[in-house]
Amino acid sequence: EAQVTQNPRYLITVTGKKLTVTCSQNMNHEYMSWYRQDPGLGLRQIYYSMNVEVTDKGDVPEGYKVSRKEKRNFPLILESPSPNQTSLYFCASTLQGSTDTQYFGPGTRLTVL
């Protein structure tokens, strides 16, 4: 089944404790992206990747890192999480950029205390 998976689905952590949210897709898509969603703000793009080892900043990259060492995986790294990073996070992949259908993962609800 074609899908995007994220882990963990739920995470409660404390300020400053490094964490990684994994994202994996099995559709051989070139493009992957991370979004955060906060009430009343819709989805905001954090980082995106157009291919292996090619990443770029979205609208809200501060406080986040990503890596794309292989095509199927695109982890989101929070080196020193802060409470303002409490949010719902979505990973997405697409075959050919923003004109193509984006397939979203189930989401990761992160709480930073």
Partner 1 sequence: LAKTTQPISMDSYEGQEVNITCSHNNIATNDYITWYQQFPSQGPRFIIQGYKTKVTNEVASLFIPADRKSSTLSLPRVSLSDTAVYYCLVGDVTGGFKTIFGAGTRLFVKA
User: Could you tell me the smallest distance in angstroms from the CB atom of residue 79 to partner 1?
Assistant: 23
- How many residues comprise the chain? 113
Measured from the CB atom, is 36 or 79 closer to partner 1? Answer: 36
The 60-99 contact track toward partner 1, x by CB under 8 A, reads: ----------------------------x-x-x-x-xxxx
Q: Name residues whose C-beta falls within 8 Å of residue 106's C-beta, 6 or more positions apart in sequence.
A: 5, 6, 9
d(CA 29, CA 90): 16
Phi, psi of 99 (to 5 degrees): -85, -10
**45 near partner 1, rule: CB under 8 A:** yes
Nearest Cα neighbor of 82 from 14, 32, 6 is: 14
Positions in the binding site for partner 1 (CB under 8 A): 4, 31, 33, 35, 40-45, 48-50, 56, 58-59, 88, 90, 92, 94, 96-107, 109
